A = this chain, B = another copy of it.
C-alpha cells in the first residue's frame, strides 16, 4: 500500500516525504525491514532510529525520523494499531455457509456472513451481516448474533445467548454454560438448580481464549458495551458488567455481582458474589474483593485492602523478622520474656 493511501485511510493524515512509498506490513522497530512501517511514540524512541532498517514511520508532528517518509499523527500508537489492521487484514472464510458446516434450516444467516466448515448453528439462530463463524465453532439454539462479529475457531455459544455488533470471541471460550447452583434435597444431596436465563454480550465486547461466562439462573448475565475479557476468566451467573470494563487473565467474578463502568480487574484477581463494584474501581493483581467497592476505589490483596494500606503492610510483611527481632530486644531491655 502506498503511504498516501494509508494516510487517507487513517482519516486524512499528512505525509512527510515520499507519499508513494510502498509499505508491505508493520513491524516492531527491532524487526522492521525496508518495506515495513514502524512507529515512534516520542523523541526518546526517535533517537534510537539510527541504523535501523525500518522503511517508513508513523510519528508525532515535528519529530525527526532520519529522513524517512512519515505519516504524522497526534496519536501514533493508535494510528499504528489501525494501520496494522489495514495492512494485515485477518483471514476469514468466504461469505456464505460452507457446505461442510451444519446450519439448522430454521436459522437465518445474513448472506454477507460466513460460516466455516464443521461449524454448527442451531435452530432459530440469527447471524447478522458481515459476521464470521470460524470452523469448528458450536452455536446452540436460538442465539442471536449481530453484525461484524468474529467467532474464532472452536468457541462455544450455548442456547439463548444474545450477542451485539462487532463482538469478538477468541478460540475455545464458552458462553452460556450453566451457572453453578444447587439446593440440598431431602437426602442432603446437591440438587441442581436449572439455569434458565441467558448471557447478553453487548456491542464491542471481546472475550478471550477459554474464558467462561455462565448463563443466568433467571434473567441475564450481562457484559456491557465495549468491555474486554482476557483469557481464562470466569464470570459467573447473573453477573452484570457495565461499559468499557477490563478483566485481565484468570480473573474470577462470583455470582450476582454488579460491576460498574470502566472497572479494571488485574490478572488473577477476583470478586465474591452479590457485591457492587462502583464505576472506575481498580483491583490489583491477585486482589480478592469481598465487600462492595465505591466508585474509584483502588484495592489490592486478599481480602482486599486500600492500595496504600496494602503496599505498606506488604512492605512490612517482607521484613517481619526484623520486627520480631526488635520486639525481642525490647523484651530483653525491659526484662520481659519472649516465649
Residues of B near A137 (CB, < 8 A) are 136
Please classify how large the interface on chain A is, using the bins under 10, 10 to 19, 20 to 34, 35 or more. Answer: 35 or more
Asked, given contacts A77-B183, A152-B177, whether A88 binds B267 with beta carbons under 8 Å apart, the answer is no
Q: In whole angstroms, what is the CA distance A171 to B211 when docked?
A: 11
Bound form: Cα–Cα A130–B28 in Å: 36
Q: Does A309 contact B (CB under 8 A)?
A: yes
**Cβ of A176: which chain B residues have Cβ within 8 Å of it?**
171
Report the separation of the CA atoms of residues A250 and B286 in the bound assembly, to the nearest whole angstrom.
13
Determine whether the beta carbon of B320 is less than 8 Å from that of A331: no
**Chain B residues near A117 (CB, 8 Å)?**
102, 120
Q: Does A27 contact B (CB under 8 A)?
A: yes
For A302-332 the 0/1 string (1 means CB < 8 A from B) is: 1101000100111011111101101101110
Closest B residue to A318 using CB positions: B305
Q: For the complex, what is the distance from the CA of A113 to the CA of B265, rounded to whole Å?
A: 43
Q: How many copies of this chain?
A: 3
Our pick among B77, B231, B234 for the contact of A177 (Cβ within 8 Å) is B231
Interchain CB contact under 8 A, A91 and B317 = no
Query: CB of A208 within 8 A of chain B?
Result: yes
Residues of chain B lying within 8 A (CB to CB) of residue A250: 234, 250, 252, 270
A52 at the interface (CB under 8 A from B): no
B326 & A321 in contact (Cβ 8 Å cutoff): no
Contact A170 B178 (CB under 8 A): yes
The answer on a CB contact under 8 Å between A249 and B236 is yes
A228, B323: Cβ atoms under 8 Å?
no
Task: Mark A188-210 against chain B: 1 for CB-CB distance below 8 A, else 0.
Answer: 01111110100000001010111
A14-22, A59-67, A79-87 - interface stretch: A79-87
When the two chains form their complex, are residues A302 and B286 in contact, meaning their CB atoms are under 8 A apart? yes
Of B136, B153, B196, B330, the contact of A336 (CB 8 Å cutoff): B330
Q: How far is the CA of A134 from the CA of B313 in the complex (A)?
A: 51
Judge whether A268 is part of the interface by a CB distance below 8 angstroms.
yes
- Contact partner, A268, options B28, B102, B288, B316, Cβ 8 Å: B288
A269 → B minimal CB distance (Å): 9
Closest to A172 in B: B174
Taken together as a complex, chains A and B put the C-alpha atoms of A104 and B270 apart, in Å, by 42
Residues of B within 8 A of A212 (CB): 172, 208-210, 231-232
Assembly CA distance A316 to B321 (angstroms):
8
A158 within 8 A of B: yes
Q: Is the CB of A28 within 8 A of B219?
A: yes
Q: Which of A170, A218, A327 neighbours the largest number of chain B CB atoms within 10 Å of its CB?
A: A218
Having A85-B192, A91-B140, A189-B226, one finds 4 other A-B pairs with CB under 8 Å, namely A31-B219, A172-B173, A180-B231, A323-B327
3 residue pairs, one from A and one from B, having the closest CB atoms: A177-B209, A136-B138, A154-B156
